[in-house]
């Protein structure tokens, strides 16, 4: 623990981060607040205030940059320029930094980096998260595809994202199969002469629809009611599920833990969904596989975790969305939901 703290301190002193580094060639950069004028109108005023605040607060960025002469380190896939400058835009999380020990070993041992003339940065480590794979990585892929003419350029993808079941399904069942993928492992340092580093708006309808259309979905006449549950080990789970089971059974809901389903199974389940109820989490991303014009989505938020991700997604795709609030998360990551709130929300949607 002490050694880690010392390493973190030295690392914070050594690395210098810069936004819009002079080596960046800006092809374009758009900034907007797409939900600034959207006024939430739900039953819970605390949720309304939280959503409205986020609608007005957050800027959304879209850009295409070219970076000349950059190194991509293997652990966090962060771009390094010169000796110790981090290209700030490539830090998926602000606190993430390249491993200083690995970097110094790399520099002092004269270990050869893998040289690539020109490439497109596909995901870094962002694709590890199921929701952000679709909202950030795939949306940015469509931005790159529409603006970069050379379709033969390698797309640099992390080994972790490449190995996920969802990417493998897309790779083997869609047009992604024919692209030039370069899988970046956790050991290799990459030296790129020209790197395309891009970012799309996360909530851009056309891009979401392109991803959905990739899958050539077949919607079913039989419409099912799905409750997305979360296990204790996943955190953010409902601790009084025994009180809710009667209500869910009464209204013919099937309880699903998406963490236990393959990607193909998740597509199949949600393509049949008429009503979806989900505790806030990555599993709610599967709502995009439902018939967007007909599905009704109820999100459950803990009182101390008011998050607008799926509210914004629903606004973007025209999904019939409502939200109910449980109690605050406890020290174990669980929370309670009042049964009458669940039943009222269901009655309003069926």
Provide the CATH number for the domain around residue 232: 3.40.50
Do 282 and 130 meet the contact criterion of CB atoms below 8 Å apart?
yes
pLDDT above 90: residue 236: no
Q: Is residue 174 domain-shared with residue 41, that is, in the same domain? A: yes
Q: Does residue 1 fall inside a structural domain?
A: no
Do 280 and 301 meet the contact criterion of CB atoms below 8 Å apart?
yes
Q: Is 114 left (phi over 0), alpha (psi -120 to 50) or beta?
A: beta
- What is the percent of the chain with per-residue pLDDT over 70, rounded to a whole number? 98
Domain boundary among the residues 211, 237, 265 is at 211
Mean pLDDT, residues 303-327 taken together: 96
Mean pLDDT, residues 25-52 taken together: 95
Calculate the average pLDDT of the chain: 93
Q: Is residue 204 domain-shared with residue 235, that is, in the same domain? A: no
The per-residue pLDDT for 197 is 96
- What is the percent of the chain with per-residue pLDDT over 90, rounded to a whole number? 80
The per-residue pLDDT for 1 is 65
Q: Is residue 111 domain-shared with residue 178, that is, in the same domain? A: yes
d(CA 237, CA 245): 14
Q: Is residue 91 domain-shared with residue 137, that is, in the same domain? A: yes
Q: In this structure, is the dihedral angle defined by the CA atoms of residues 176, 177, 178 and 179, taken in order, positive or negative?
A: positive
pLDDT above 80: residue 3: no
Q: Is 50 helix (H, G, I), strand (E, B) or coil?
A: helix
Contacts of 348 (CB under 8 A, 6+ apart): 322
d(CA 60, CA 25): 20
Q: Is residue 187 domain-shared with residue 231, that is, in the same domain? A: no
Phi, psi for residue 296 in degrees, rounded to 5: -120, 130
Q: Is residue 158 domain-shared with residue 272, that is, in the same domain? A: no
Q: Is 211 helix (H, G, I), strand (E, B) or coil?
A: helix
pLDDT above 90: residue 249: yes
d(CA 228, CA 300): 10
Q: How many domains does the chain have?
A: 2
The per-residue pLDDT for 79 is 95
Q: If you search the block for the tokens 């439902």, which residue do you land on?
A: 290
pLDDT above 80: residue 9: no
Of 341, 330, 286, 284, the closest CA to residue 304 belongs to 330
Q: Does residue 216 fall inside a structural domain?
A: no
Q: Is residue 30 domain-shared with residue 59, that is, in the same domain? A: yes
Q: Is residue 116 domain-shared with residue 54, that is, in the same domain? A: yes
Structure tokens at 28: 């374009």
Mean pLDDT, residues 281-296 taken together: 95
The DSSP annotation for 70-137 comes to: EEE-TTT--EEETTTEEEGGG-SSTT----HHHHHHHHHTTPPPEEEEEEEE--TTGGGSHHHIIIII
Q: Does residue 170 fall inside a structural domain?
A: yes
Domain boundary among the residues 160, 189, 211 is at 211
Q: Is residue 207 domain-shared with residue 232, that is, in the same domain? A: no
User: Tens of pLDDT along 104-143?
Assistant: 889 888 778 999 999 999 998 899 899 999 999 999 999 9
Q: How many CA atoms lie within 13 A of 269 on its CB side?
A: 23
Q: Does residue 5 fall inside a structural domain?
A: no
d(CA 230, CA 236): 7
pLDDT above 70: residue 202: yes
The per-residue pLDDT for 228 is 96
Do 29 and 62 meet the contact criterion of CB atoms below 8 Å apart?
yes
**Helix (H) and strand (E) counts for the chain?**
12, 16
The per-residue pLDDT for 252 is 96
User: Tens of pLDDT along 82-115?
Assistant: 999 999 999 887 778 888 888 988 988 877 899 9
Q: Does residue 123 fall inside a structural domain?
A: yes
Q: Is residue 98 domain-shared with residue 140, that is, in the same domain? A: yes
Q: Give the chain's radius of gyration (CA, Å).
A: 22
Domain boundary among the residues 176, 211, 246 is at 211
Q: Does residue 3 fall inside a structural domain?
A: no
pTM, 2 dp: 0.92
Q: Is residue 183 domain-shared with residue 312, that is, in the same domain? A: no
Q: Is residue 140 domain-shared with residue 232, that is, in the same domain? A: no
Q: Does residue 218 fall inside a structural domain?
A: no
Q: Does residue 62 fall inside a structural domain?
A: yes
Which residue range forms the structural domain that includes residue 318? Answer: 224-347
pLDDT above 90: residue 221: no
């Amino acid at each position: 623990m002490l050694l880690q703290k010392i390493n973190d301190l030295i690392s914070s002193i050594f690395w210098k981060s810069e936004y819009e580094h002079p080596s960046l060639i800006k092809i374009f950069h758009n900034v907007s607040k797409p939900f600034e004028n959207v006024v939430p109108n739900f039953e819970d005023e605390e949720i309304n205030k939280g959503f409205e605040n986020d609608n007005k607060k957050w800027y959304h960025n879209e850009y295409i940059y070219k970076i000349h002469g950059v190194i991509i380190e293997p652990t966090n896939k962060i771009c390094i320029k010169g000796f110790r400058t981090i290209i700030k835009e490539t830090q998926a999380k602000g606190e993430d930094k390249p491993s200083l020990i690995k970097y110094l070993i790399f520099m002092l041992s004269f270990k050869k980096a893998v040289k690539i003339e020109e490439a497109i940065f596909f995901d870094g480590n962002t694709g590890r998260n199921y929701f952000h794979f679709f909202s950030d990585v795939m949306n940015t892929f469509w931005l790159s595809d529409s603006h970069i003419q050379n379709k033969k350029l390698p797309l640099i993808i992390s080994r972790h994202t490449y190995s996920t079941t969802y990417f493998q399904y897309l790779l083997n069942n869609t047009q992604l199969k024919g692209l030039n993928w370069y899988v970046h492992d956790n050991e290799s340092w990459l030296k790129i002469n020209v790197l395309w580093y891009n970012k799309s708006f996360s909530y851009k309808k056309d891009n979401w629809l392109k991803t959905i259309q990739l899958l050539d979905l077949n919607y079913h006449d039989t419409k099912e009611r799905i409750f997305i549950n979360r296990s204790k080990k996943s955190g953010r789970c409902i601790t009084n599920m025994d009180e809710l089971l009667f209500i869910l059974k009464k209204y013919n809901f099937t309880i699903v833990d998406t963490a236990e389903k393959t990607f193909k199974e998740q597509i199949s389940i949600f393509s049949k969904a008429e009503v979806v109820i989900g505790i806030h989490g990555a599993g709610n991303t599967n709502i995009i596989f439902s018939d967007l014009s007909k599905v009704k989505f109820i999100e459950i938020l803990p009182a101390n975790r008011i998050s607008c991700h799926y509210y914004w997604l629903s606004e973007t795709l025209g999904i019939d969305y409502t939200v109910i609030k449980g109690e605050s998360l406890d020290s174990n990551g669980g929370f309670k939901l009042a049964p009458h709130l669940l039943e009222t929300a269901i009655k309003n949607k069926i």
